[in-house]
Amino acid sequence: MNVHRLASSVLVQAPAKLNLFFEILCKRGDGYHEIETLMVPISLWDTLVATSDPSGRVGVDCRWALPAAGDVPGDLPREQDNLATRAIHLLRCRAGVEHGISIELAKRIPSAAGLGGGSSDAAAALLAANELWGLGWSRDALMPLGAELGSDVPFFLGRGAAICRGRGERVEPLAGTGPLDFVVVRPPQGLSTSQVYENCRVSDEPRRLGPLVAALRAGDFRGVARESFNRLEEAAAALSGWVGRLRASFAEQDCVAAQLSGSGSGYFGICRHARHARHVARRLRSRGVGHVYAVHTTN
């Protein structure tokens, strides 16, 4: 999450994320699921620009940053439903201020894709307002607010790869994993997170995350291929035929590994290097499978 202070505004680059590992440990009493996941931020960005509004109003203008004739990768939230709007109101309440803010949010991260776009935008809004208003809150101080807004928001307040537990709000930074290149596809159909969870069965023998962490740190692509995992993939495949189609398409591309990100419908392949990622992206674009991105990990 890159924050830049400009002359009269604050610009934040809000990255998407991928889940290299996702396991559901149990169903909790509060209705959420206890999870263990390994997430990495990637170089697919929404851009948020915040300026002060002397009237005290909070306004969020959200649009796709795509060519006018381009096919959009999902629906935009209404302003009152946008997590960035909710984040601003929550910070104003907790900080005890009535400052106004105007936000222009240029979206590139597809929606309903398991890539965390809404959560990343919420984290970006917290950071931008904190900087613009001179509140001086640390990222650690913003974490509880992020957890109230959504399970993935605290991850985006961090600074790189992390293991997330609980319902996702307990973030443990992960160092030493090295850079990775990916191809990400958002097919024409999105998926509802709640529906995917409802259709997922909790295993009696959860997969362990440790072997994947060890493989990533060792640069062991065979180990990464063996240990990458997403418990939600089969539930998502039952809801959308695009999951199986993308699984088959990636199987033909000589990727290190390929799987669903989060609850989908976004699907990604781990590539051997940037040139390989660009090659795979070109081939998949020619098949008309949706929006295709060649990206890499970023801090």
Smallest CA-to-CA distance from 19 within 123, 112, 152 is with 152
Would you state the structure tokens that stand for residue 173, as one six-digit string? Answer: 């930074």
Cα 77 from Cα 63, distance rounded (Å)? 10
Cα 85 from Cα 58, distance rounded (Å)? 8
Pick the catalytic residue from 46, 107, 121, 152. 152
Pick the catalytic residue from 17, 46, 107, 181. 17
Strands 100-107 and 170-173: unpaired
Cα 4 from Cα 107, distance rounded (Å)? 18
Catalytic, 107? Answer no
Distances (CA, A) of 147 to 122, 167, 185, 206, 254: 11, 9, 28, 25, 38
Catalytically active residues, by annotation: 17, 152
